[in-house]
Amino acid sequence: MNALTRSAEPGVVLIVDDTPDNLAMLSDALDDAGYMVLVALDGLSALNRVQRRRPDLILLDAVMPGLDGFETCRRLKAQPASADIPVVFMTGLTDSKHVVQGFEVGGSDYVTKPLQNDEVLARVAAHLRTSRILSSARALSQPSIITLEDEPAHKLLSARFQLTEREVEVLRWVACGKTNRDIGDILGLSPRTVNKHLEHVYVKLGVETRTAATSVAMAAMSTNRTPHMATL
């Protein structure tokens, strides 16, 4: 097996195609690459399958009897539980009308038939990487994950990292996604002063970026959370 094609982080891929030969070919290729493979022969089966086991990515045939791929994708995107699953259309319809239709209903990409395994694997890997990055970013931005607002949180971060009160305040607003200018307006500081405080925070936390600083603070809070500690 080509090591470059094997998934370093195996994911779950759902293949939806009404042609058994296509299912078999793709299943073998994805399985060899380290993915867990789910299959469905039509759109309704795909919708039911997603409810039972959420895949990380869906390879979806555009043209199928009954519920076609476009309508299947539209329904998937209408459900909060499946709205963010990347959908890659498999189609022999390469005219701009059908390509645009695929994107309009929420598709992330498309591959043309006859399928080339190397291309399919490359696109699957690329979209899974992007999906994981976006998921991580959303997790970091969720206000329910961490509080830096209440007094116990201030004391914890100050004691653990030797942060000044002002540095904790700056870190709090960084964790909320605020820019240096925003933080300056909130705290009555110049953006330059905010940046100086942030540089000190980076040094004390041993990080180099805003995202890393937020992650370190989140980790500290999650391991030291007490029942009276609120969330943002």
What's residue 9's pLDDT?
55
Report if pTM > 0.75.
no
Domains of the chain: 3-141 (3.40.50.2300), 151-223 (1.10.10.10)
Kindly report, residue by residue over 28-80, the tens digit of the pLDDT. Answer: 999 999 999 999 999 999 999 999 999 999 999 999 999 999 999 999 999 98
pLDDT of 210: 85
Q: What is the pLDDT of residue 141?
A: 52
What tens digit of pLDDT does each residue of 190-225 get? Answer: 888 998 999 999 999 998 888 888 888 877 766 554
Distance of CA 211 to the CA centre of its chain: 15
Tell me the average pLDDT of the chain. Answer: 83
End-to-end CA, the chain:
48
> In terms of DSSP bridges, do strands 57-61 and 36-40 run parallel, antiparallel, or are they unpaired?
unpaired
What is the spatial order of strands in the sheet that 57-61 belongs to? 36-40, 12-16, 57-61, 87-91, 109-112
Q: Report how far residue 177's alpha carbon sits from residue 179's, in angstroms, rounded to the nearest whole number.
A: 7
- Quick one: pLDDT band at residue 137, thresholds 50, 70, 90? low
Q: Which of 68-72, 136-140, 228-232 has the highest mean pLDDT?
A: 68-72
Residue 187 has pLDDT above 50, yes or no: yes
In this predicted structure, what is the pLDDT of residue 228?
36
Pairwise pLDDT comparison (127 vs 215), residue with the higher score: 127
Q: 3 falls in which pLDDT band (50, 70, 90)? A: very low
Helices (H), the chain: 20-32, 43-52, 69-78, 96-104, 117-141, 151-161, 165-175, 180-187, 191-205, 210-223
Peptide bond just before 114 cis, omega within 30 deg: yes
Handedness of CA 38, 116, 111, 120 (dihedral sign): positive
Q: Residue 107 in contact with residue 78, Cβ under 8 Å?
A: no
- Sequence-distant (6+) residues with CB within 8 A of 115 are 22, 25, 26, 90
Place of tokens 């607003």: 173
